[in-house]
Amino acid sequence: MSHPFDTLTPDLVLDAVESLGHLSDARVLALNSYENRVYQVGIEGGEPLIAKFYRPQRWSDAAIREEHAFTLELSEHEVPVVAPLSQAGETLFEHAGFRFALFPRRGGRAPEPGDLDQLYRLGGLLGRLHAVGASRPFLHREALTVAGFGHDSLATLLDGGFVPKSLLPAYESVARDLLRRLDALFAATPYRAIRIHGDCHPGNLLCRDEVFHIVDLDDCRMGPAVQDLWMMLAGDRQERLAQLAELMDGYREFHDFDPRQLALIEGLRALRLIHYSAWLARRWDDPAFPQSFPWFGSERYWGEQILTLREQLAALDEEPLRLF
């Protein structure tokens, strides 16, 4: 069966960009993106533009516009972020059945793992992001919850038959044990849900001309602030404690942080693991996914997932990271 993105040809991409009055030079470069389709389009006499075509039926128009509004709000508060281009007050456009947005091109390099100076600067950037994010809630976007990221994801994997039968009992058992622990952990840990980036891995915080900027708020949602912080940490416990101290020194210059949220880090890591497998499963009808992730569905992959989830169960028994 064909997939909606099958009809998204280079000619259609050029036509969409030119429908907004931009004259292309006919150069189209597909960028590395799976959830949506993203292209760099050359413009006659100007800098290339980035055209992002949204996956059909994933977000409502209201949810996409809310993402754009949040990005523009951050920009208005001088938070360095790549915001969509506006035309006559609109940022979301439609062409040949596809919804799309245009962005300026902003390249850069990802942070160096464990670099304490960079972590201080990234902490300040994320503190500024959350200061704006805490000012009002999202109305149309999903929240990060154990129910949505955990239980719904497990149901997708089990109901769809994605786990090999030989490993199904072991995977289901460890996943259900983990989700019971996460239900209890999130119920016992007080936190305030605010607007967050939602997918704040280092590849979405790029440095150019010694300035870090935020990219790709496609997964922004309501959630605990620590979700945007824990993926900045790497290494053993002592290394992560030192990194956390630098991150928080920068963060707290712009926004308060409740240290009780630190107890959620390993739980959030577990949710990301289960949700990632479910994301692959939900996108398996997209030809780009079997081609790019051929190992998904193999016994080796699911065996590794079982071991990883067991490690996460053990990690939940360890003392959470602390601020000193």
CA distances from residue 28 to 40, 118, 221 in whole angstroms, order as listed: 6, 34, 31
Concatenated DSSP letters of 126-166: HHHHHHHHTTS--SSS-B--HIIIIIHHHHHHHHTT-S-TT
For residue 121, give the 3-state DSSP assignment. Answer: helix
216 is in an annotated binding site: yes
Q: Is 199 a catalytic residue?
A: yes
The candidate with the shortest Cα–Cα distance to 299, out of 162, 129, 174, is: 162
**Which is the catalytic residue, given 216, 236, 249, 258?**
216
Which one-letter DSSP state was computed for residue 18?
H
Annotated catalytic residue: which of 199, 209, 219, 249? 199
* C-alpha span between 104 and 267 (Å, rounded): 36
Are 51 and 98 in contact by the 8 Å Cβ rule? The answer is no
285 classed as catalytic: no
Nearest to 158 by CA among 172, 178, 174, 177: 172
Residues in the annotated binding site for Mg(2+): 204, 216
Residues in the annotated binding site: 204, 216
Residues involved in catalysis: 199, 216
